[in-house]
Homo-oligomer: A and B are copies of this chain.
Amino acid sequence: MTTTPAVAWIGLGAIGAPMARALAGAGLPVTTYDLFPAAREAIAEVAATTETAREAARGADVVAVMVATPDQLDAVLFGEEDGIAGELADGTILLIMSTVGPAALDATATRLAGTGVRIVDAPVSGGAARAADGDLLVMVGGAESDVADARPVLDALASNAPVVGPKPGDGQRFKIVNQLLCGVHIAAAGEALALADAMGLDLRQVHEVLGTGAAASFMFGDRGARMVEGAYDDVRSALTIFVKDMGLVAEAAEEVDQQVPLAIAAQQLYQRGSELGWDRRDDSIVHEVLREG
């Protein structure tokens, strides 16, 4: 493989778009596709776009997929109309950057067995702002030589992209642990501030004083600030993502017979927020779920 691989990029959502821009900004030849024409138009100034996923994938050295759900990954790869699997030549790197869980990686690997397609599992953490700066954390699972061939893409996107295991699925497993902590910490922040409010404390002072000591978490600092303001329509990360990801946590835990009672309690709160119609609002709105009583 050349040292500057031709990249196909599938998925231009809230994180995918800034990632594709960061790749283009780093000088990599990138051809993009998204289901929504508006997303394609928005990036056309800095990267090539195509009308179908198959066109984007055709002839690429690295095909990166950054869609939202396991079902979307399956459709991108194996969809009847526009599935790209048939375009992936022997030796192509399929770089799965979505958070879809280890089961989806296993299923994908099984369906692509014998094709010579090399899967590198590489889910990310860090949000849109860090994505735009090429400053993500990427958790990489894959064979050494496959990861080496994906490295120019990983380096353009991440400030830290450790290999966390030798096989596709290990990146997802690592990301699952990350999401367990993040999802529980956001819910804990919501719960702590709901209790503080119910007890008549000053929420700004609670957030300020407890934000630096033994009670501190990244999420208490970040999401807690939005909870104090009630800024749920300043959407940095939509509630629906944790509805999905805590489901993936629960599924992965069940798979290995591991109890995860805090994650389950948090999952129920996100699920309840979804039932209240808050899927597209900032995930900090889990605080309001707890105040609903």
Which of these binds chain B: A9-17, A146-154, A160-168? A160-168
Contact residues in B for A262 (Cβ distance below 8 Å):
184, 187-188, 191, 262, 265-266
Contact residues in B for A196 (Cβ distance below 8 Å):
173-174, 177
Inter-chain contact B181/A210, CB cutoff 8 Å: yes
Contact residues in B for A180 (Cβ distance below 8 Å):
188, 191-192, 195
In the docked arrangement, what's the CA distance between A255 and B125, Å? 39
Q: Is A253 positioned at the interface, with any CB of B under 8 Å from its CB?
A: yes
Which of these binds chain B: A35-43, A49-57, A198-206? A198-206
A212–chain B nearest beta-carbon distance, Å: 9
Q: Is A217 positioned at the interface, with any CB of B under 8 Å from its CB?
A: yes
Contact residues in B for A189 (Cβ distance below 8 Å):
181
Q: Is A213 positioned at the interface, with any CB of B under 8 Å from its CB?
A: yes
A160–chain B nearest beta-carbon distance, Å: 7
Question: Residue on B with the closest CB to A141?
Answer: B201
Inter-chain contact B202/A252, CB cutoff 8 Å: no
Copies in the complex: 2
In the docked arrangement, what's the CA distance between A293 and B263, Å? 15
In the docked arrangement, what's the CA distance between A185 and B213, Å? 13
Question: Residue on B with the closest CB to A169?
Answer: B199
A73–chain B nearest beta-carbon distance, Å: 20
Residue among A252, A262, A269 facing the most chain B CB atoms (10 A cut-off):
A262
In the docked arrangement, what's the CA distance between A259 and B199, Å? 12
Q: Is A215 positioned at the interface, with any CB of B under 8 Å from its CB?
A: yes
In the docked arrangement, what's the CA distance between A126 and B210, Å? 11
What is the total number of residues of chain A having a CB less than 8 Å from a CB of chain B?
Answer: 66
Contact residues in B for A187 (Cβ distance below 8 Å):
262
Contact residues in B for A200 (Cβ distance below 8 Å):
165, 173
In the docked arrangement, what's the CA distance between A205 and B174, Å? 10
Inter-chain contact B269/A164, CB cutoff 8 Å: no
Q: Is A110 positioned at the interface, with any CB of B under 8 Å from its CB?
A: no
A7–chain B nearest beta-carbon distance, Å: 25
Contact residues in B for A215 (Cβ distance below 8 Å):
125, 177-178, 181-182, 185, 218
Q: Is A80 positioned at the interface, with any CB of B under 8 Å from its CB?
A: no
Q: Which residues of A contact B (CB under 8 A)?
A: 102, 125-127, 137, 139, 160, 162, 164-165, 170, 173-174, 176-178, 180-182, 184-185, 187-189, 191-196, 198-202, 205-206, 209-210, 213-220, 222, 249, 252-253, 256-266, 268-269, 290, 293
11 intermolecular pairs with C-beta atoms under 8 Å apart: A164-B209, A173-B201, A177-B201, A178-B214, A184-B184, A185-B217, A195-B260, A198-B258, A199-B256, A258-B290, A260-B290
